[in-house]
Amino acid sequence: MTANSSTHPPRKLVKTLKSSKDIGNLIKWYMLKAKIAELLPWKKSAWITSSTSVELLWGFDIFPLHPENNACIAGARKISQDLIEHAESLGYSRDICSYMKTNVGAFDKKISIQMGGIAKPDFVVTSGTICDTHVKWFQNQARRMDVPIYVFDVPHIVNNTSRSTKNRYKGYVIDQIYDFFDFVEDTVGKKLNEKKLIKTWQNSHRLTDLWQKIYNYRKKVPSPIGFADTLGDIFPLVILPGIKKGIKYFENILKEVEEDVALGKGILPKEEEKYRLMFEGIPMWYRIKFFHQLMNYGAVVTYEPYTFSFGPYRPYVDNLEDGLNVMAEHLMYQPYIYNLSDRIAYFKDVIKQYHIDGVLLHENMSCRPSCTGLYDLKQKIQQDLGIPVLLFTCDMNDPRAYAAEQMQTRIEGFMEVLAQNKKYSKIQKALD
């Protein structure tokens, strides 16, 4: 069967949120601020990785630059392969993180920020919170750019970790945050603005609270918001968690979602929403139309641990001590880095709450943390819940790993399994 097979379903008209279109203006505002920070010598900037608390930088009035976010842009702009191959020409292996290689290529080639480029920072800050590659990636780039680096050493919570051990871990992380304060002052001459940091945390609390409410509406049938929206909507959570512009954006999203739910509207009409899917892993940024192709079959992605993980609930804080405790706990334990037993329990709960009919697991060649344990996860979901799971191997930013015809064939087969499983489930309910 080929990608041009006549068995392809007709293209469906998919509803996206009007409010989501405003993300373009928010990104343009951020890019303008990034350019200003690059041009004005008294403005300071820093590279930071995902899940390394960006609120810390806003508390110092240091502009955050995010290499992973820029790599996603390069992937979506379909230029990541050229950047990756440039990095590989320098000796970097094919199996190293494609975000990292995209960043190397983007920086060396000095492409524009609109295409995924990034400026030289005053320093870089990273951690091993969700990815050990983050540490070596930033160490390497800091050396190449000749800028200082700060690395948070974050312990991970594994099965049966005692409360006393967790508290010791938390104290260890908090000590490093205070050390980071000194590092920033020594490196760029800026002192922490405690009031600004607390206000940033409070804005971050509001932002994640809105994200939780938006996500909760995805339990509705039909789903009022899909992956086509949430892919871009995570931007304020990634880089602008303490900025009011992000809060306003989410307030508009939530308002529109509430209105659509009241009218019974979904991204597909209720009668066309055949299958509700969960997608685990980082999306293929160069192949976003993959998710639109799913919807042509009436299959709607209604939950993604990836996008949810950027906005887990953060309690309201009004002092530095409580804020540091919350930050340390978040660094050590969040949905993206759950141990296997907690991850299985998390998935089972989501599948039930969001009425999931099938699960897609992206075994990402570039990301060990997100794909470790996927075979065990697949087995437990299928055995314990009896729903189909498709595990496929691909890459988040390297299009060379995507075989369109093979993927089309596997998706078609998966849709057939979903149809048979739903039919069997209906028969079982009738017999019960």
Token readout for 430 is: 């009738």
**Residues 250-254, mean pLDDT to the nearest whole number:** 97
pLDDT reading at 192 higher than 60: yes
pLDDT in tens, 7-65: 678 887 788 899 999 999 999 999 999 999 989 989 999 999 988 889 999 999 999 99
pLDDT reading at 95 higher than 80: yes
pLDDT reading at 193 higher than 90: yes
pLDDT reading at 2 higher than 70: no
pLDDT reading at 337 higher than 90: no
d(CA 308, CA 336): 9
pLDDT in tens, 274-323: 999 999 999 999 999 999 999 999 999 999 999 999 988 888 999 999 99
Strands 149-152 and 299-303 turn out to be unpaired
Q: Are 258 and 217 in contact (CB under 8 A)?
A: yes
Q: What pLDDT shows up at residue 351? A: 97
DSSP 272-290: G--EEEEEES---GGGTHH
pLDDT in tens, 104-116: 999 999 999 999 9
- For 349, half-sphere exposure in the C-beta direction (CA atoms, 13 angstrom radius) is 8
Report the percent of the chain where pLDDT is more than 70. 97
**Any idea where the domains of the chain sit in the sequence?**
19-431
pLDDT reading at 89 higher than 90: yes
Q: What pLDDT shows up at residue 422? A: 87
**Residues 182-197, mean pLDDT to the nearest whole number:** 96
pLDDT in tens, 142-174: 999 999 999 999 998 888 889 999 999 999 999
Q: What pLDDT shows up at residue 428? A: 63
Q: What pLDDT shows up at residue 268? A: 93
**Residue found by looking up tokens 């887990």 in the block:** 312
* Total-model pTM: 0.94
- The pair phi, psi for residue 170, each rounded to 5°, is -60, -45
Mean confidence (pLDDT) of the chain: 93
Q: Are 359 and 388 in contact (CB under 8 A)?
A: yes
